[in-house]
Structure formats: structure tokens, C-alpha cells
Structure 1
């Protein structure tokens, strides 16, 4: 008699396996864009997009806090292949509608599998394949996928949990204490005293959003952020539309104009930081009036662009402050009490609701356990090739965008590279490609993923030790330099010794 029957155990069900030429992980702005390029540039390849959520959109699907919107203009945050027709700064709903059109117009829905969580990813050099063990979240069924090439587009932070510091007495507070990233849908803020902890782009969005819903809002910040305000309109785009110029031309022109203006601003922030600082503070004063005291609420300790400069469309946050619907307090939290927060200055902020707009938790390659030929893969022991590939890791690319320019610019750029690489491998018969340091680079000095003096947001600095390492040349860095990379990426020599094709190599980390 069968031993399983005697023991009362049911025999294990075989795990279904599907194979694809390429698997794209994530159906956010990166994954949908990458899927478009696969369909248009590599039409002969069979590919699938695996997404753990129940719909596309990534950030714009998971973030539900009041007023949620882009903090980059949509002429550059949108895709190069689809003109943006709305206002530069868009709501989450508008961005999702734009992405839905991309999916529908390019028949991408057939390639997306929702509610698939990746539990492990393993590479076998003998088979030349990645194996992904996944769970279908509706049924709990385990499903296995194999692929020749893995394209990671899952973003850089944990979508299901934001960063929440540990403050003394948090359990004492009797009202809701929520993180903006996990906003409860039925939260009623009308007439409530709401303390928003944070000062970045999320706080700058939540504060006016809550005020418009009738809340009495206090933005509590430990240190200020640089803000810049302007009309949520692009006069040049509107004029070109009035002249009935082809929308694709308008999109390309405005895209380049916005990028050039941004590059000039970033350069000036490095070369003449005090002058830029004065200009930014003058802009805030123009919004709040001569009598408003900028110190310490709007005068950051760091130079402009060491962290993101938050854009305030149509000055909406400043308008709520002027009208008395929101106030700004700069101090540190001493402790929570039943009905609010006590500050280090002993001032007490009364609160019915506390909202933490305190940033992200970094996620390196989706926190997925990776292995290469049976050895656990630690990405912090690898060196990044142009911020998208890693030494010792075969047939994989990660999309990690720009901090000072729109994320999506790099989506298009990396996609062009991946499609060119796949075609090159097909043409040469190569099944495996692994980045490697050249012989004269083996002793190259290594440093962190990004220089903290260049850019140092809290979410990155808290866990920078988890990220891959950088070298001392542009090839071995994520340079954050769009203007250089837009010319360098198309010229990458796929026959260079940095790419090892189908060769014996040490498995695991570099």
C-alpha cells in the first residue's frame, strides 16, 4: 500500500512549469515600458510580466493618500513613445489612465500575470536558465517559471510597508497612526487635527490634500526640504498644440526642453549652491509673503539637490499655509501621548490622527532570495555595470532610474540596450552573458552605490550597505548623468571584454 495513504498524507502535487524567453518582473512604470519595447523591438521573443499586485501601476496603484501625484513632469516621466497630453504634474489617476492606454494600444495585457509573488530565483549555468518559484496569491498554488533572461523592473522600495521610525510612547497615542504609503481607504479627516510627520514630496502632497478635505493640518518636520513652485502648465506645449503641431513632435521638443532646464539647474546647484539656495528661498518667500519667517521652516542644512527638490504645482501647499489651513513646525519628537505629540522643545501638538510621511524602505531587487549555481547571491558583493547589471550575475538587468531626472528616462534607455543585447546573443549563438571586471580592473577601488556628498536621501543612506558596489570609472557606476548616458548607452560595445559570453566562470558573487 502507498506510504502516503498509510500516513494520511496527500502526495505532493507537481509544480506546473512555464518557460519564456524573457521574464519581466513588475508591472509598474518600468515593467510596462519594458514590455512595450520587448513587443516592438523583439517581436519574436516570448515574454511575460509577473506582478504581485492585482493591477498594473506600481507606485501609482499602491499609493492612495489624498492628493497623490507625480513629483516629476510627465513629459519626461511619461514614455518617449507616447505623447503626454495633460498638465506637467499629474495625479495618480491620470498616470494610471495613461498607462492603461499604453497597455491597450499595444496589446500588452495578454503578457501580464497579476498576483504572482516570486519566492526565489535561481540561475543554473548548466541549463542556461533562471528558475523562478512563485505563488499565485489567489489560490496559494505554486507555479514555476523558467527563462533565458530576467529583467527586473520591480522598483527600489517595499510597496507594502513604508519606513516608520520608532518613537517613544507610540502605543500611548489613541488615534490612528498611519504611514502615507499604506493609506486606509475609509479614513475620515473632516474637522480632525492631523499631524503629518515629514517634509519631502509626499508630505508636500498630503498636506494640501488633507486641508482640502477639511482637516486642520500641522506639518511636523525634523529638518526642512527645498521647494520650488510654479504653474502646473507648460506654455510652450500649449502654444504648439494651439498651432496644431504633431503631438509626437511636441512631446519630443518639450521633453528635451524640460531635460535641458533640469540639467542646467542641477549643474548650478553643484557649482553655485549659495546662489541657487537664495533663489529657492526667494521663491518660497514670494509664496508666503515678506512677513513669514523662513528660518527654520524652509531653510535646509544641505545644499540644493543633495536630496530631491519638491515641486509644488500652483503653490497649493503654500496657499493652504497662507490661508491658515496648515502650519509648519520644525522640531524633533520627544514622545507620543494619548492625544498628540510632545516635542523636544516641550511644545505639544494636539492630534486626532498622525500621518507618517517618513519615506521608503529600500528593496534591493525586490528582496527576492537569489542564487547562482547553488550559491546564495549577495548583491552587495557585486559591482554594478552602469547601474543595471552586476558582476557574476548572468542574463539579468535591473532598471534603476534617475534621482534628479525622471525615472522613466532610464526605462527606455535600458530597454534599448536589453533588446540590442538579446539580438546580439541570438546572432552569435550565445546563451549566457555575464559582466566581469577586466584584468586591469580587478584591483579597482570600490565605493558605495552612490556618493553621499552627491545625493543622500534617507531611504538610500539607511540601507546603502545592501546595494551593489561602484567602481571608479563610468562603466562601473550608476552615474545619474542622463546627458552622458543617452549618448553612451547606444555606443556600448557588446563585444567588449566586460561581457563574458558562454564561458566557464566562478559561480556566485564577483
Structure 2
């Protein structure tokens, strides 16, 4: 049996639930369904279960713009974020539209039929289900849920302990009284160190190169003050959200325009946290601030455990694993019972599903992103990808709002197909996420990530203020989008679509 909806959403995480809510909020009148591979809502926040997992963006901006995060915590832990997403889905009646345990394998577009045909594997029964839709929305994020990035370490077969990747944290992992080494210096590593330090005999962060780290208060002092003075929650939320959006943008802009000043401020703040006994080379990257994502620690928890001696940082390279731990290129040996490979993500688009347009396979790397949402030459489809230099949800919300505007415009004008048509010179060699950051996972993902453009709506600049105007108020018919109406009796006429095989 084939099931049909107007809009088919892939993924019931932060982006997918937000998109479904917007379809209702913006009164699109479109039916929808969500296909979710996992057995629960939450996406990333349902998958990752390692100790201390939390957001690395403030909750004023990481929460949905239409449903305020109520509370004073600057960063929130994984279980609370997952609950927030579930509660949002319940409030907007989204949960009943989700089909869990469905892995999308193939999506095929037919211009003649004006439909997407999607095949999904029911992982419980092994059967294939078929769905059709007028529109397809990818809300799967950009990494592979089945496997994280896990390099093969020389000699690891000789290691007598256990090697764990945070993406697949064993529920029964017992590290009490054991020596733990965490390989990596990103957000996961700096979260694990303080979270595990109370139970481990000692925990060491082994990094090849440092990351810029900044401390934030666990509780927002302004939010606490407004709560004490009984400022209405909605007013406090709007003020806090506007302030934090501005601060995020200012931090990024300072790093781009005056990297030396940004570096001085960040490292000065770290020096105040760690004191004079800890070598600052462990916190001094070779790159400029915001060439890679800035890591945030609440109440300086990482710095506290380093000062206490329960944790330490080593900056070196691995020569090989030995039975009792890791031997470094410097000759030093790190004893370990448990090694955690916090080495990052494997980038993947659309959860690994294959795409076809009129019988032609789609290579996502050859496509150009339009307004950071649509992909050139792929009709009636969008991919939701959040910001790399600010909270993910800020962009996800804007993309969903834009998609709803587009749907309503098409309905009002009798259009049933739309495609972003790129021209010669619109496509750059930078990936959609590669123009701003140089992180390892972004470089590794270059082979599958869509390109960003060289000009106009094709150029991705990761600027919330610019995108807010472009996506909320910019003209829908801007000479780039091509529309088709199967029924020209509305008076709008038919506008020929560009050849969808051209990136």
C-alpha cells in the first residue's frame, strides 16, 4: 500500500519537529508525515547518551523561536533538551504524524507526475513501505548515525583495556576507579572530562591540537534577575534571545575582523580560569578564533577539574597503543584502562538515502544551496541545515518559515512545482559549511556536502540578521526560482522549469 501526504519530512529531531510545527503555525493547510528511523523523538538528543551531554549553544537561541525555553540555565543537558522537543511535538499534535523505525533508503522525483516516491525500510519487520508526497524535506542533520568518525590507531589490538566512541556509549560502561584517556579536544571531550572526573581514578584529555574554549555562567544572571523581579516570562525570553543573538554575531564578527584581539580576549579569560600552574600551550590553537567552532564550558567546570588535579591535558600525537595505554610521539606513556575516542562525526546527507530526479541519480556535492535551504535542480524539496557559527535552531526556524511562505505562495498562485535554477558562475568550490569553518568533520564531509554559491541567494554567509530579512521578507519570485502550474486556469499561467539535471 502506498501512503500519500502533501509534505514528507525525514527525521523527527530538533529540525523535523520544528518543521512540522511551522506547517501548522503558518496555516499551510498541507498534510504531512514524518519518517523517523529511531524509536523515539529527539534525533541527536536521543542518540547521544554519554556522561554530561549538553548543548553547546545557549538555550535562549537553541530553543524554538515559537516556543520559549523556560528556565535560567545557559546550557541544558541532553535529557532536558530531548524532553523539550517531545513536549513541543505533543503541544502541536505532531507525535501522531510520526512513523518510527522507518529508514528512508530512496527518494525519486518525477516531474511528469509531480510527485516524490519514497521507499522506507521498516527495520522491525524488514518490509519496504512506499510513500508519495508533493514535497520532501530532509531534516536528518549532516552526520551518520550508524558510525562516528573513528580512526584506526596503530597497535590498538594490543591494548588491554576498552575503546569507546561517544556516539555509541555502552550503557553498562563502568569507569569507576579507572584511568581514562579521552582522545580529542572538541565539545564532546571537554564535556566528558568534568562529567567523568568524580568517578574515574584520573582522566586525561589527549589532544593533537587545542581548541578555543570559553566559560559561561551555568545560570544566566540577567535571566535570574528578571525572574526575581517577576518580569513576564515571554518578555524575559524575547530580551534574552535578542541579546544572545547579537552577542553570537558580535563574537563571530570580531573574530573575523580582528582575530588578534579576539584571540587575546579568549586566552586571557582562560588564563584567569586555569591559573599560573597550567601550561597555556594546551589552550592556544594554531588557527584563529572561529576558524573552528568555539567550545563553551558552564561555570568553567573543565578548568575546575584541571586545577583540582583530578584531570589533566596532554598535547601530543599518538605513536601507538600498548597493552597498558598509549605511547606518544614524545616518548611519554599514558596509562589507561578506558580510552574514549571523541574524534568526531562522519558526514552524511539525508541519512544515507539515495536521490533521483527523473531517473537521474543526484550527487549532492554537485548541487548548489539556494538561500541555504533548497538545492539547485531538485524540485519540491529542501534540506534543513542549521548554523555552524551560531545556534543550529536559529537557521532551522528561518528555513521552516521560508518553506511555509513558499508553500502558501504556490497555493495562492496555482503552482505545484518549484525548483531553484542555478546558472553558470553560481557554483563555488566551497561546501555549504566550508566557507566559515575549517573543522576536521567539515573537511572530511566535503565529498558529500552541497556547494555554496558565489553570489546573491546562492551565497551562504551564516548571518542570522541577513537571513532573517532574506527568508522572512525577501520576494518569493526573485528570478531564480522556476515554477510550474499543472492547472493554468488560475490565471497565473505556467512558467517553464529549468532543466533539473543541471546543477
TM-score, structure 1 length as denominator? 0.94
1:20 aligns with 2:12: no
Displacement after TM superposition at 1:215 (Å)? 4.1
Q: How far apart, CA to CA, are the structure 2 residues paired with 1:386 and 1:481?
A: 11
1:508 aligns with 2:480: no
Q: How far apart, CA to CA, are the structure 1 residues paired with 2:150 and 2:166?
A: 10
Q: Output one character per residue of 1:68-121: Cα deviation in whole Å (capped at 9) or x when no partner.
A: 111001100001111212211000011112112212222211111111100111
Q: Output one character per residue of 1:11-58: Cα deviation in whole Å (capped at 9) or x when no partner.
A: xxxxx2100000111111101111111122135211011110010111
> How is 1:51-200 mapped onto 2 (pairs within 5 angstroms)?
51-86=36-71, 87-200=73-186
Displacement after TM superposition at 1:492 (Å)? 2.5
1:421 aligns with 2:403: no
Q: How far apart, CA to CA, are the structure 2 residues paired with 1:22 and 1:74?
A: 29
For the Cα contact (< 8 Å) 2:433–2:442, is it kept in 1?
A: no
> How is 1:82-481 mapped onto 2 (pairs within 5 angstroms)?
82-86=67-71, 87-295=73-281, 297-437=282-422, 441-444=423-426, 446-450=428-432, 454-481=436-463
Match of 2:491 in 1: none
- Change in 2 beyond 3 A, CA 1:36/1:65: same
Q: Identify the range of structure 1 (447-456 vs 497-506) with the bigger mean alpha-carbon deviation.
A: 447-456
- Aligned residue for 1:154, secondary structure, equals coil
Displacement after TM superposition at 1:244 (Å)? 2.3
Match of 1:490 in 2: 472
Q: Identify the range of structure 1 (207-216 vs 187-196) with the bigger mean alpha-carbon deviation.
A: 207-216
For the Cα contact (< 8 Å) 1:386–1:479, is it kept in 2?
A: no
- Aligned residue for 1:146, secondary structure, equals strand
Q: Identify the range of structure 1 (66-75 vs 483-492) with the bigger mean alpha-carbon deviation.
A: 483-492
- Aligned residue for 2:239, secondary structure, equals helix
Q: Output one character per residue of 1:148-205: Cα deviation in whole Å (capped at 9) or x when no partner.
A: 0011111011122110112211222121111111100100000111110000110000
Which runs of at least 4 in structure 1 moved beyond 6 Å after TM superposition? none
Displacement after TM superposition at 1:452 (Å)? 5.1
Q: Output one character per residue of 1:213-232: Cα deviation in whole Å (capped at 9) or x when no partner.
A: 33410100000001101211
Q: How far apart, CA to CA, are the structure 1 residues paired with 2:346 and 2:116?
A: 27
- Aligned residue for 1:168, secondary structure, equals coil
For the Cα contact (< 8 Å) 1:232–1:313, is it kept in 2?
A: yes
- Change in 2 beyond 3 A, CA 1:501/1:445: closer
Q: Identify the range of structure 1 (193-202 vs 285-294) with the bigger mean alpha-carbon deviation.
A: 285-294
For the Cα contact (< 8 Å) 2:367–2:376, is it kept in 1?
A: yes
Q: How far apart, CA to CA, are the structure 2 residues paired with 1:446 and 1:160?
A: 30
Match of 1:13 in 2: none
Match of 1:39 in 2: 24
Displacement after TM superposition at 1:212 (Å)? 2.5
Q: Output one character per residue of 1:217-258: Cα deviation in whole Å (capped at 9) or x when no partner.
A: 010000000110121111211222223222122111100101
For the Cα contact (< 8 Å) 2:364–2:449, is it kept in 1?
A: yes
- Change in 2 beyond 3 A, CA 1:504/1:305: closer
For the Cα contact (< 8 Å) 1:393–1:509, is it kept in 2?
A: no
Q: Identify the range of structure 1 (117-126 vs 237-246) with the bigger mean alpha-carbon deviation.
A: 237-246
Count of matched residue positions in the alignment of Structure 1 and Structure 2 = 491
- Aligned residue for 1:122, secondary structure, equals strand
Q: How far apart, CA to CA, are the structure 2 residues paired with 1:453 and 1:507?
A: 25
Q: How far apart, CA to CA, are the structure 1 residues paired with 2:482 and 2:434?
A: 32
For the Cα contact (< 8 Å) 2:320–2:328, is it kept in 1?
A: yes
Q: How far apart, CA to CA, are the structure 2 residues paired with 1:451 and 1:116?
A: 28
For the Cα contact (< 8 Å) 2:425–2:454, is it kept in 1?
A: no
Q: How far apart, CA to CA, are the structure 1 residues paired with 2:275 and 2:497?
A: 67
- Change in 2 beyond 3 A, CA 1:281/1:209: same
TM-score, structure 2 length as denominator? 0.95
Displacement after TM superposition at 1:352 (Å)? 0.5
Q: How far apart, CA to CA, are the structure 2 residues paired with 1:138 and 1:445?
A: 42
Structure 1: 5+ residue runs without aligned partners?
Answer: 1-15
- Change in 2 beyond 3 A, CA 1:140/1:434: same
- Aligned residue for 1:446, secondary structure, equals strand
- Aligned residue for 1:427, secondary structure, equals helix
Displacement after TM superposition at 1:318 (Å)? 1.0
Q: How far apart, CA to CA, are the structure 2 residues paired with 1:434 and 1:487?
A: 21
Match of 1:12 in 2: none
Q: Identify the range of structure 1 (219-228 vs 460-469) with the bigger mean alpha-carbon deviation.
A: 460-469
- Aligned residue for 2:254, secondary structure, equals helix
Match of 1:7 in 2: none
Displacement after TM superposition at 1:292 (Å)? 2.0
CA RMSD in angstroms comes to 1.4
